[in-house]
Amino acid sequence: MSRFVLITSDHDFERRVRQAAASLHGKFHAIVADFLPAGPDDVLRVLGGDLVEVILLGPGLPPDDAIRLASLFDLQYPEISIVLVTGNDAEVALPAMRAGIRDLLPPDSDVNTIRGLLERASLASAGRRRGLGSALEGQPMSGRIIAVMSPKGGVGKTTITTNLAVGLGKDSPTDVVVVDLDLQFGDVASGLLLEPERTLADAVVGAAVQDSVVLKSYLTLHSSGIYALCAPLNPTEADQISGEQVGRLLSQLSNEFRFVIVDSAPGLGEHVLATLELATDAVWVCGMDIPSIRGLRAGFNVLDELDLVPEHRHLILNFADRRSGLTLSDVEAVIGGPVDVVLPRSRAVPYSTNKGIPLLQEGARDPFTKGLRRLVERFSTDLEPHPHKNVSRRAVVQ
């Protein structure tokens, strides 16, 4: 997959773009030339049919020819983001906008600036591609919102969330976003080894609320190809975010991504309830101890009374250990329904967490990782709906 394509005669600029693209998911293809072909098909033919998301034109190319080619791409391949590399912003800004050019980039930009632009342009391409697909099918855009839940903390929610996101991202690159709704002490950023410039606090106010392109520019790209909207850096900002804002945010993201995976805070607070009102799936995480199991059952009862249990339910038993004094049957008897995935206690988990590299990203083969893969498989569109998807409603949880 040639995700990024550069046409230029400037070898130093090519080196910087190649370096910037190296940390992003996908391939980079450079076409060394000081002229442009007649049309888009001539460019794409060189790539052998590979998927293209972003094409950078210049430096070293005639600006008028670049704008002409960009306008043809906008008509024939609107899902591809075109970036014009030029130092004459004032002269070409208006013609570039009319031609559908996504952004302008100075030729002396450093690697970090180029990387940030590639991320934004890639997000715009993914949104356009998704929008065009939905328009052709005549269906409104709607991704799955997967809430990873637990009434109590310390049961491994973030580990499961980040691995689920990375696992789904292998089949749907650039179409998975993970949202950290543990607003005070969320760990998605550290779990994915990210240093976000923008957080969820920025995404629920201002222009991002009205413009999905702005919202997507606030996301942080992970090396596996997924995106993350991390928790606020200052825990006090959590008090300024309402449940209504969370609901609007998740609705926006579900219109742009196939999978929106939410790492929720422990308990049943305002933000968690707002998430459950929209969630298509709930992944309930339970530890192999009496307080965790009883807390999960109590949570089911409360949510059932509020009619806030999502249609599809996936129950995960984490830290499974035969030496705990409990059996799987004991857990299922207390909860009142079957466990879907059992994750055994594993020494690999804390090591992975401390490194900030999810197990499914590393490709480990221990029993814990196999259990994570079974969880990912439950969200495959090729699978039939699970026969006990309503198992956590009142008829089952007595």
pLDDT tens-digit readout, 185-218: 899 999 999 999 899 999 999 888 888 778 888 8
pLDDT tens, position by position, 345-377:
998 999 899 999 999 998 778 899 999 999 999
Instruction: Name the domain boundary from 109, 135, 161.
Output: 135
Q: What percent of the chain lies above the pLDDT cut of 90?
A: 47
How far apart CA 4 and CA 241 sit, in angstroms, is: 36
Mean pLDDT of the chain: 86
Q: Are residues 89 and 151 in the same domain?
A: no
pLDDT at 9: 93
Q: Are residues 189 and 236 in the same domain?
A: yes
Q: Are residues 188 and 47 in the same domain?
A: no
Q: Is residue 153 part of a domain?
A: yes
Q: Is residue 251 part of a domain?
A: yes
Please say if the pLDDT value at position 163 is more than 50: yes
In the sheet where 54-57 sits, what is the strand order? 27-32, 2-8, 54-57, 81-85, 103-105
Under 8 Å between Cβ of 277 and 147: no
Q: List the CATH number of the domain containing 85.
A: 3.40.50.2300
pLDDT band for 245, please (50, 70, 90 cuts).
Answer: very high
Top mean-pLDDT range of 258-267, 325-334, 360-369: 258-267
3-class secondary-structure state, position 147: strand
Q: Is residue 363 part of a domain?
A: yes
Q: Which residues, 6 or more positions from 363, have their beta carbon under 8 angstroms from its beta carbon?
A: none
3-class secondary-structure state, position 90: helix
Q: Is residue 389 part of a domain?
A: no
pLDDT at 49: 64
* Range 17-54 burial, b when 16+ CB lie within 10 A, else e: bbebbeebbbebbbbeeeebbeebeebbeebeeebbbb
Domain containing 101: what range? 2-135
User: Once rounded to an integer, what is the mean pLDDT over residues 150-174?
Assistant: 90
Predicted structure pTM score:
0.68
User: Once rounded to an integer, what is the mean pLDDT over residues 55-67?
Assistant: 92
pLDDT at 386: 42
Cα–Cα nearest to 177, from 164, 190, 186, 187: 164
Q: Are residues 96 and 197 in the same domain?
A: no
Under 8 Å between Cβ of 212 and 256: yes
pLDDT at 387: 42
Q: Are residues 333 and 184 in the same domain?
A: yes
Cα–Cα nearest to 142, from 281, 254, 279: 254
Rg (C-alpha) for the chain, rounded Å, is 23
Under 8 Å between Cβ of 201 and 237: yes
How far apart CA 194 and CA 358 sit, in angstroms, is: 12
Report residue 175 as tokens: 């179409």
User: Once rounded to an integer, what is the mean pLDDT over residues 384-397?
Assistant: 36
pLDDT tens, position by position, 1-56:
568 999 999 999 999 999 999 878 668 999 999 899 888 988 888 877 677 889 99
User: Once rounded to an integer, what is the mean pLDDT over residues 98-107?
Assistant: 89
Q: Is residue 385 part of a domain?
A: no
Q: Which helix (H) or strand (E) segment is 221 a member of?
A: strand 220-221
pLDDT at 322: 84
Report residue 193 as tokens: 């080894």
Please say if the pLDDT value at position 241 is more than 70: yes
Please report, for residues 193, 283, 317, the alpha-carbon distance to residue 155 in angstroms, rounded to integers and kept in the order given: 20, 12, 9
How far apart CA 398 and CA 302 sit, in angstroms, is: 12
Domain count, the chain: 2
pLDDT band for 383, please (50, 70, 90 cuts).
Answer: very low
Report residue 64 as tokens: 């008028």
How far apart CA 376 and CA 143 sit, in angstroms, is: 16
pLDDT at 66: 93
Q: Is residue 356 part of a domain?
A: yes
- Residue 229 vs residue 97, higher pLDDT: 229
Please say if the pLDDT value at position 136 is more than 70: no
User: Once rounded to an integer, what is the mean pLDDT over residues 47-68?
Assistant: 87
Instruction: Name the domain boundary from 114, 135, 156.
Output: 135
